[in-house]
C-alpha cells in the first residue's frame, strides 16, 4: 500500500508540478517501482501467470457448473444417471478381490434395488443408515442406492471397535446398520449395547452362527427387490448426501457432513485441475469410508464416467501387477503408500504399466523425485483438503513438494490465507485492529478459508454435532465481521505462491494415513493403566510419513504388565492409533487449566541422549512393547525397524 501511494505521488508530482511529458512520467514511475523491489513482482508475474490463469479457469468452470446444478436442484444420483444414459454398458467398477466387473447399468440396477428395498422397509428421505463394510463394488452401490431414496449413509471406519464404533452408531441416529460379513465379530462385540430397534443387515458370505442375533442376510433380499428408479426425493444440491467420520479434538470420531455440492466440488476440482480424461482408469486402493477413496477416486466414476478399480486393501507387492492387469492410467496414494512402494525390491512390472498420473496427498519432498523417476510416472497430482474444509488446494503443475498454490498477483480470486499462530497452542495472532495477521512468504502459518455460505465453493457444512463447529470457525480473520474455517494445519508459502505442508498440529497428528486424536488415545490408555496421567503426542521418525504416536505415562514402568497392555490395546484401539513409543516418568507437568504441557515432551521424543526415563517401543514382530536400547534406537533411526 505504501509503495502504491509513493508511485501515485511521483506520478502526480511529475505531471502536475514538473509538467513532464507522459513518456518521462512513465519512465520515472517505472524506475521508482523497480528500485523499490518491484522487479520481484515482474519475476513472479512471468513465472506464475500461466499457472494462475489455468487455475482461475478451473475455478470458473467448476463454479459455473455448481451454480447451474444448484439452480436445477441436481443431486449426485441425478448426475450419475446422465453417465448411465451416456454409456450404460461401459465398465464402471472392477473389484480386484474377485475380478467382478460392473457396468454403469449394473451399478444403476443394484443401487435402485437398494433404494426400493429400504423404501419397502419404511425408510424415507432424511433417515440415516450406517454402512460398515470393507472395500468392494457393493459398498458404492449401497450408499448410492440410499442417496437415490434421500437416505443419508453414515460411512463407518472399518478399523473402529467397541466404544468408538458404538459412538458412531449412536450419534448418527441410524435406523439400520448394513455391515460386511467380514466385520460381524466387531458388531457382535457391541451388539448387547445397541438400540434394539436398530435393524441389522449383513452383506457377503452368510454364516448364521457367526452373526449377531436378529441379523438378516441382505443379498438375497436385494435380488428380489425391484430395480426400477424410485421417485426422486425432495432434496437439492446443498442437502446432505452422507457422513464421513473423522478424528478431531473432541476425542471420539465426529461425523463430517458431505452435501451433494461438496461431493461434486471435490471430485470436479481434481478432474479439471489435473486434466483427467473420461477414458482414464483409476486404481483406488484407499478406504471407501474416507473422502480420498470415495470422493476424489470414486467420484470420477459416478460424475465423469471413468472406470475405477477397487482393491480391498493396499498391497505394495501387488500394486503394479494390478495396474498392468487392469490397464490403469491413474493411481491414488497417500504419502506413506509411496514410501512402501519405494521400499519394495525393484521388479519389471513397476515400469511396464500405463500409469500417467499419481493423485493424492502427503508425498514428501524427500522421496518425490525418487518416486516419479523409479516408477516412470509423468505427473504427481498432489492436493490438500480435509473432508469438511472449504480451502482445498491443488498442485496443478507438479511443483516438487508443494500441495497447492495461491496466486500472488490475483490472491483475491480464491480467498484463502496463511495467518500467524502460536504453533504450540494454535492460537491466532491478531493485529491492533483485532484482525488476523497474514503471513509473508517463508513464514509458517495456519491455513484458513473465508466462509461464504451462499457460495458452493466457500460454504462450510460442518459436523453433525453442531456444537463441534465452533472449534473450526474464527471471526475477524480477513476483515472485521467475517468468518473463516480453521484447518488446524501449518503450511508455508514460497515467493511464487506455492504452498508446502509443514505440520498437523493441535490435538491430532497423522500416522499411516489416518488422523489420530490424542484425546481419544489418552482416555483409552488412562483407563487401561488404572487412570494414570497419560499425555499422547506425535514424534518424528526418520524415513516415515507423519508422526508416530508416543505416550508419556506418569507411573513407574515396573507397575505395568506391558504384554497384557499390548494385548488390551489391540482390542481397544485401531492399529494406527496405538502408541509406538512409551515413556514412563514420575509426573506430567500441567497448565493452570489442567492441560498437559507437551512441548518439551515432543522436542525430546524418544532420543536416548535426552530422555533418561524408561523408554519402550512396540516391536511389530513380537507384538509387544520391549525396552528401547541403543541398538534398537540405531535401527529405528536408520529405517531398519518396521514400525
Is there a contact between 499 and 492 (Cβ–Cβ < 8 Å)?
A: yes
CATH of 407-504, one of 3.40.190.10, 2.60.40.10, 2.30.38.10, 3.40.50.1220: 2.30.38.10
pLDDT tens digits for 330-381?
Answer: 999 986 788 789 889 999 999 999 999 999 998 878 789 999 999 999 999 9
Instruction: State how far the Cα of 244 lies from the Cα of 464, in Å rounded to an integer.
Output: 10
Please report how many Cα atoms fall inside a 13 Å half-sphere around the Cα of residue 229, on the Cβ side.
Answer: 13
pLDDT > 70? residue 9:
no
Instruction: State how far the Cα of 228 lies from the Cα of 108, in Å rounded to an integer.
Output: 9
Q: What is the pLDDT of residue 92?
A: 98
pLDDT: which is higher, 295 or 620? 295
**Of 34-43, 68-77, 419-428, 620-629, where does mean pLDDT reach its minimum?**
34-43
pLDDT tens digits for 518-541?
Answer: 777 887 888 788 777 888 999 999
Q: Any idea of the CA torsion for 74, 80, 85, 86, to the nearest 10 degrees?
A: 110
| Per-residue CA distances from 473 to 179, 421, 548 (Å) | 34, 15, 28
Q: How confident is the model over 579-600, as a mean pLDDT?
A: 76
Cell numbers given for 152:
443419508
User: How many residues make up the chain in this entry?
Assistant: 643
| Protein fold of 508-638 | GMP Synthetase; Chain A, domain 3 (3.30.300)
DSSP state of 468: G
**Of 23-37, 416-430, 463-477, 497-511, where does mean pLDDT reach its minimum?**
23-37
pLDDT > 90? residue 38:
no
CATH of 73-313, one of 3.40.50.2300, 3.30.565.10, 3.40.50.980, 3.40.50.12780: 3.40.50.980
Instruction: State how far the Cα of 228 lies from the Cα of 453, in Å rounded to an integer.
Output: 36
pLDDT > 90? residue 266:
yes
Q: What is the pLDDT of residue 353?
A: 97
Q: What is the pLDDT of residue 639?
A: 86
Q: What is the pLDDT of residue 130?
A: 98
Element (H, E) at 474: strand 473-475
**Of 24-33, 117-126, 180-189, where does mean pLDDT reach its minimum?**
24-33
Q: How confident is the model over 117-123, as a mean pLDDT?
A: 97
Q: What is the pLDDT of residue 249?
A: 38
Q: How confident is the model over 381-404, as a mean pLDDT?
A: 94
pLDDT tens digits for 441-460?
Answer: 999 899 999 999 988 889 99
Q: What is the pLDDT of residue 593?
A: 34
Q: Which residues contact 396 (CB under 8 A, 6 or more apart)?
A: 51, 54, 55, 58, 273, 274, 405
Q: How confident is the model over 101-114, as a mean pLDDT?
A: 98
Q: What is the pTM of this model?
A: 0.81
Q: How confident is the model over 134-159, as a mean pLDDT?
A: 97
pLDDT > 50? residue 405:
yes
Strand partners, 438: 419
Cell numbers given for 288:
471407501
Instruction: State how far the Cα of 340 lies from the Cα of 326, in Å rounded to an integer.
Output: 21
pLDDT-derived band at 42, boundaries 50, 70, 90:
confident
Q: How confident is the model over 293-309, as a mean pLDDT?
A: 98
Taking residue 608's Cβ as centre, other Cβ atoms within 10 Å add up to 14
**Of 125-134, 411-420, 554-563, where does mean pLDDT reach its minimum?**
554-563
Q: What is the pLDDT of residue 544?
A: 85
Q: How confident is the model over 137-147, as a mean pLDDT?
A: 98
pLDDT-derived band at 248, boundaries 50, 70, 90:
very low
Strand partners, 428: 421
| Per-residue CA distances from 162 to 152, 193, 531 (Å) | 23, 10, 19
Give per-residue burial for 521-548: e unless 16+ CB within 10 Å, then b. Answer: bbbbbbebbeebbbbbbbbebebbbbbb
As a whole number, the mean pLDDT across the chain is: 89
Cβ neighbourhood burial of 182 (10 Å; 0-12, 13-18, 19+):
middle
Amino acid at each position: 500500500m505504501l509503495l502504491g501511494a509513493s508511485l501515485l505521488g511521483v506520478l502526480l508530482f511529475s505531471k502536475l508540478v514538473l509538467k513532464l511529458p507522459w513518456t518521462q512520467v512513465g519512465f520515472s514511475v517505472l524506475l521508482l517501482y523497480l528500485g523499490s523491489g518491484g522487479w520481484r513482482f515482474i519475476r513472479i508475474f512471468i513465472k506464475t501467470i500461466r499457472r494462475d490463469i489455468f487455475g482461475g479457469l478451473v475455478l470458473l468452470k467448476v463454479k459455473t457448473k455448481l451454480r447451474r446444478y444448484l439452480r436445477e436442484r441436481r443431486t449426485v444420483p441425478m448426475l450419475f444417471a446422465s453417465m448411465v444414459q451416456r454409456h450404460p454398458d461401459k465398465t464402471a467398477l472392477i473389484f480386484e478381490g474377485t475380478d467382478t466387473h460392473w457396468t454403469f447399468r449394473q451399478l444403476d440396477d443394484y443401487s435402485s434395488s437398494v433404494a426400493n428395498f429400504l423404501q419397502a422397509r419404511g425408510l424415507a428421505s432424511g433417515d440415516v443408515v450406517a454402512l460398515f463394510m470393507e472395500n468392494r463394488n457393493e459398498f458404492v452401490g449401497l450408499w448410492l442406492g440410499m442417496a437415490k431414496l434421500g437416505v443419508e449413509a453414515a460411512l463407518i471406519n472399518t478399523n473402529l471397535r467397541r466404544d468408538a464404533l458404538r459412538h458412531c452408531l449412536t450419534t448418527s441416529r441410524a435406523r439400520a446398520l448394513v455391515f460386511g460379513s467380514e466385520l460381524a465379530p466387531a458388531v457382535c462385540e457391541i451388539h448387547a449395547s445397541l438400540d434394539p430397534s436398530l435393524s441389522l443387515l449383513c452383506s457377503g458370505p452368510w454364516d448364521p452362527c457367526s452373526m449377531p442375533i436378529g441379523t438378516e442376510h441382505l443379498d438375497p433380499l436385494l435380488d428380489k427387490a425391484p430395480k426400477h428408479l424410485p421417485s426422486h426425493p425432495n432434496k437439492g444440491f446443498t442437502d446432505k448426501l452422507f457422513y464421513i467420520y473423522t478424528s478431531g479434538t473432541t476425542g471420539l470420531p465426529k461425523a463430517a457432513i458431505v452435501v451433494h455440492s461438496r461431493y461434486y466440488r471435490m471430485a470436479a476440482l481434481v478432474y479439471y485441475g489435473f486434466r483427467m480424461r473420461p477414458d482414464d482408469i483409476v486404481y483406488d486402493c484407499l478406504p471407501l469410508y474416507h473422502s480420498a477413496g470415495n470422493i476424489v477416486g470414486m467420484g470420477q466414476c459416478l460424475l465423469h464416467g471413468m472406470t475405477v478399480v477397487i482393491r480391498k486393501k493396499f498391497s505394495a507387492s501387488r500394486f503394479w501387477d494390478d495396474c498392468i492387469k487392469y490397464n490403469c492410467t491413474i493411481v491414488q496414494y497417500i504419502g506413506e503408500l509411496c514410501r512402501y512402494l519405494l521400499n519394495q525390491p525393484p521388479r519389471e512390472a513397476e515400469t511396464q504399466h500405463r500409469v500417467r498420473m499419481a493423485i493424492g496427498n502427503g508425498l514428501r519432498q524427500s522421496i518425490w523425485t525418487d518416486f516419479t523417476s523409479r516408477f516412470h510416472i509423468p505427473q504427481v497430482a498432489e492436493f490438500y483438503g480435509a473432508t469438511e474444509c472449504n480451502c482445498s488446494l491443488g498442485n496443478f503443475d507438479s511443483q516438487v513438494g508443494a500441495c497447492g498454490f495461491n496466486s500472488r498477483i490475483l490472491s483475491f480470486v480464491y480467498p484463502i490465507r496463511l495467518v500467524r499462530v502460536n504453533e504450540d497452542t494454535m492460537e491466532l495472532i491478531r493485529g491492533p485492529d483485532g484482525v488476523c495477521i497474514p503471513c509473508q512468504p517463508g513464514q509458517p502459518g495456519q491455513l484458513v478459508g473465508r466462509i461464504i455460505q451462499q457460495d458452493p465453493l466457500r460454504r462450510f457444512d460442518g459436523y453433525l454435532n453442531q456444537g463441534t463447529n465452533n472449534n473450526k470457525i474464527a471471526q475477524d480473520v480477513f476483515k472485521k465481521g467475517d468468518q473463516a474455517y480453521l484447518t488446524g494445519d501449518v503450511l508455508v508459502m514460497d515467493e511464487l505462491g506455492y504452498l508446502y505442508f509443514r505440520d498437523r498440529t493441535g490435538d491430532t497428528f497423522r500416522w499411516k494415513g489416518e488422523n489420530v486424536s490424542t484425546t481419544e488415545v489418552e482416555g483409552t490408555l488412562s483407563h487401561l493403566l488404572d487412570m494414570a496421567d497419560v499425555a499422547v503426542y506425535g514424534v518424528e521418525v526418520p524415513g516415515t510419513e507423519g508422526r508416530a504416536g508416543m505416550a508419556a505415562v506418569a507411573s513407574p514402568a515396573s507397575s505395568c504388565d506391558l504384554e497384557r497392555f499390548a494385548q488390551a490395546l489391540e482390542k481397544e484401539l485401531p492399529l494406527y492409533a496405538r502408541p509406538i513409543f512409551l515413556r514412563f516418568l514420575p509426573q506430567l507437568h500441567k497448565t493452570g487449566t489442567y492441560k498437559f504441557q507437551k512441548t518439551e515432551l515432543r522436542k525430546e521424543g524418544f532420543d536416548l541422549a535426552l530422555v533418561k526415563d524408561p523408554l519402550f517401543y512396540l516391536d511389530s514382530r513380537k507384538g509387544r512393547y520391549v525396552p528401547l536400547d541403543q541398538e534398537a534406537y540405531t535401527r529405528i533411526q536408520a529405517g531398519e525397524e518396521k514400525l
